[in-house]
Amino acid sequence: AKIRHYRWEVKYEFKSPDCYRKLVITINGKSPGPTIRAQQGDTIVIDLKNGLLTENVAIHWHGIRQIGTPWADGTEGVTQCPVLPGDTFRYKFVVDRAGTYLYHAHYGMQREAGLYGSIQVALPDGENEPFVYDYDRSVILNDWYHRSTYEQAAGLSSVPFVWVGDPQSLLIEGRGRFNCSRTPDVASGVCNMTNPECSPYVFTVVPGKTYRLRIGSLTALAALSFEIEGHNMTVVEADGHYVEPFVVKNLYVYSGETYSVLVTANQDPTRNYWVVTKMVSRNNTTPNGFGIFNYYPNHPRRSPPTVPPSGPWWNDVDARVNQSLAIKSHRDYVHPVPQTSDRVIILLNTQNRINGSVKWSINNVSFTLPHTPYLVSLKHDLLHTFEQTPPPDVINGYEAYDINIAPPNVNATSSNSLYRLKFNTTVDIILQNANTLNVNNSETHPWHLHGHDFWVVGYGDGKFNASEDPKRYNLVNPIMKNTVPVHPYGWTALRFVADNPGVWAFHCHIESHFYMGMGVVFEEGIEKVTKLPSSIMGCGDTRRFIKP
């Protein structure tokens, strides 16, 4: 195994990812940042210099379990203090499993300012994937807002509440195209559709070849459909695990998920084709994102001769649920599932109001981050730094709760308390969706677990029935993932083993939802965590450990 050393500097720079110039956080001048390419078992060392001048930073390695290095997870408030302007922080961790992963900022709503990228981990020499392809490419999908993350965050915490609204654009590998004629900023040059930074993403293929396309989504809000005009895609990997292959025309991807699909360039080679992303799951005004699937040797900028496919209906929930149900573990790579669990936690999500502002709550608790990172507080017994009463495993009155109406009790409490899991036990999590504060509205939430992969043992419509539904769990060949959607008015059941000493966030990957309190934190095996590096300290009550 190798040590791969990176030197990164993050900075604010003016960029025009969708032709509209704004301040973007770059890594070494780029957004998306550099792709980390490594082999299973390698050690990654990143010396991250914070060049933001007046803003802290932290980077999370999404999908990397951080076994033995919980302090390198990059979750501000959970596993580390933020990295101060001018400081350099060293992340050092092992990529222990081949697959497709992501990285992104994990401080405030900073991720959507452009600080993100992808991680590709290859198999060890001599091992093969259970599928064949000629070339391997990765593409990150995103959505894009023109307003700064500060403006958005301020709106979300004001009274009256100001929602972030629909994204202005969808980006494919950091490129989108906003229609500048719709803004007054075209005259000033702030919006300029001839800027080469916003020329469309081009995916060049050689006729007859098969491509492994690694698709990841780091949208702030949007659930996406991804398609390549006229081409089928075979899904073969999800969040680093091999999938029993299935074919789709369009792939639904939620924020925080990664997939590998195989695409063969087997259509008329004399022309190009559209690559289309479309926002689904909420009614929206965001225009579709476009790229070009370019058959060599046609000119890469030549527009396809056809009208781009318009994509699925935004409200076709069944199609999305069906894709979720289709994802099973590849038959030769099943990780045996524990057949029983030791603890069941039902996480009911509701929208609520606290002091007049709108929040998301889990079991009536809206999550806030503590000022002293849990990892340090728990390891060093600074228990006064966060609330000690744990949140409930099931909300009071769950049996009677009607998920089809707006929450009858709109009040919730904010808390920074966490769930403490007994080391090495098996835990079931039921994500239970419900109606929001608006009538006839339930949203899709992609939940991401740090430090683990979990088995996705079941999805269901309506309210989870604790005596009947577990009988229908898939305990034979469920896929393991780190991010999973809970569909509107439905539930999703996950199982994992609490065997990774540390403190791990579990939250909705929609940036504004987590900011509004949609998350929880798990602690397990804290006593097994070895000496914490002092580099993660310096804020809140951890200052006592820093020698003057």
Which positions lie near ligand C2O, rule CB under 6 A? 60, 62, 75, 104, 106, 256, 448, 450, 505, 507, 509
User: What's the rounded Cα separation, in Å, for the pair 513 and 177?
Assistant: 26
Question: What is the smallest separation between the CB atom of 63 and ligand C2O, expressed in angstroms?
Answer: 8
Residue 62, contacted partner among ligand C2O, Cu ion, none, CB below 5-8 A by kind:
ligand C2O
Token pair for 514: 């987590």
**Between residues 104 and 278, which has the closer beta carbon with respect to ligand C2O?**
104
Q: Does position 508 bind Cu ion by CB under 5 A?
A: yes
The phi-psi region of residue 370 (left if phi > 0; otherwise alpha if psi is between -120 and 50; otherwise beta) is: beta
| Candidates 116-124, 140-148, 323-331, 441-449; binding stretch for Cu ion (CB under 5 A) | 441-449
Amino acid identity, position 402:
D
Residue 508, contacted partner among ligand C2O, Cu ion, none, CB below 5-8 A by kind:
Cu ion
Q: What SS3 class is residue 319?
A: helix
CB 519 within 8 A of CB 506: yes
Q: Does position 507 bind Cu ion by CB under 5 A?
A: no
Could you tell me which of 45, 36, 41 has the C-alpha nearest to residue 1? 41
- Torsion sign across C-alpha atoms 207, 213, 219, 225: positive
What is the C-alpha end-to-end distance of the chain, expressed in Å?
38
Residue 281, contacted partner among Cu ion, ligand C2O, none, CB below 5-8 A by kind:
none
Q: What is the DSSP string of 326-345?
A: H-BB-GGGPPPPPSS-SEEE
Residue with the closest Cβ to ligand C2O? 62
Q: Is 300 exposed, middle or buried (0-12, 13-18, 19+ CB in 10 A)?
A: middle
Question: What is the smallest separation between the CB atom of 103 and ligand C2O, expressed in angstroms?
Answer: 8
Residue 505, contacted partner among Cu ion, ligand C2O, none, CB below 5-8 A by kind:
ligand C2O
Question: What is the smallest separation between the CB atom of 485 and Cu ion, expressed in angstroms?
Answer: 9
Count of residues that bind Cu ion according to CB under 5 A = 4
Question: What is the smallest separation between the CB atom of 106 and ligand C2O, expressed in angstroms?
Answer: 6
**Between residues 120 and 363, which has the closer beta carbon with respect to Cu ion?**
363
Amino acid identity, position 449:
L
Q: Does position 510 bind Cu ion by CB under 5 A?
A: yes
Task: Tell me the CA distances in angstroms from 434 to 86, 111, 206, 284, 487, one per residue in order.
Answer: 44, 27, 47, 20, 10
Q: Is 17 exposed, middle or buried (0-12, 13-18, 19+ CB in 10 A)?
A: buried
CB atoms within 10 A of CB 416: 17
**Between residues 63 and 470, which has the closer beta carbon with respect to ligand C2O?**
63
| Candidates 68-76, 199-207, 299-307, 502-510; binding stretch for Cu ion (CB under 5 A) | 502-510
Task: Tell me the CA distances in angstroms from 382 to 388, 517, 522, one per residue in order.
Answer: 11, 23, 17
**Between residues 33 and 309, which has the closer beta carbon with respect to ligand C2O?**
33
Question: What is the smallest separation between the CB atom of 532 and ligand C2O, expressed in angstroms?
Answer: 20
Question: What is the smallest separation between the CB atom of 258 and ligand C2O, expressed in angstroms?
Answer: 11
Q: Does position 292 bind Cu ion by CB under 5 A?
A: no
User: What's the rounded Cα separation, in Å, for the pair 337 and 51?
Assistant: 45
The phi-psi region of residue 257 (left if phi > 0; otherwise alpha if psi is between -120 and 50; otherwise beta) is: beta
**Between residues 341 and 483, which has the closer beta carbon with respect to ligand C2O?**
483
**Between residues 60 and 241, which has the closer beta carbon with respect to ligand C2O?**
60
**Between residues 224 and 508, which has the closer beta carbon with respect to Cu ion?**
508
Could you tell me which of 257, 258, 261 has the C-alpha nearest to residue 246? 261
Question: What is the smallest separation between the CB atom of 44 and ligand C2O, expressed in angstroms?
Answer: 17
Could you tell me which of 456, 501, 513 has the C-alpha nearest to residue 482? 456
**Between residues 450 and 513, which has the closer beta carbon with respect to Cu ion?**
513
**Between residues 241 and 507, which has the closer beta carbon with respect to ligand C2O?**
507
Q: Does position 513 bind Cu ion by CB under 5 A?
A: yes
Residue 487, contacted partner among ligand C2O, Cu ion, none, CB below 5-8 A by kind:
none
**Between residues 191 and 238, which has the closer beta carbon with respect to ligand C2O?**
238
Question: What is the smallest separation between the CB atom of 164 and Cu ion, expressed in angstroms?
Answer: 12
Q: Does position 243 bind Cu ion by CB under 5 A?
A: no
| Candidates 73-81, 303-311, 469-477, 511-519; binding stretch for Cu ion (CB under 5 A) | 511-519
Q: What is the DSSP string of 177-238?
A: ---GGGSTHHHHTSB-TT-GGGSPEEEEE-TT-EEEEEEEE--SS-EEEEEETT--EEEEEE
Q: Which residues bind Cu ion (CB under 5 A)?
A: 445, 508, 510, 513
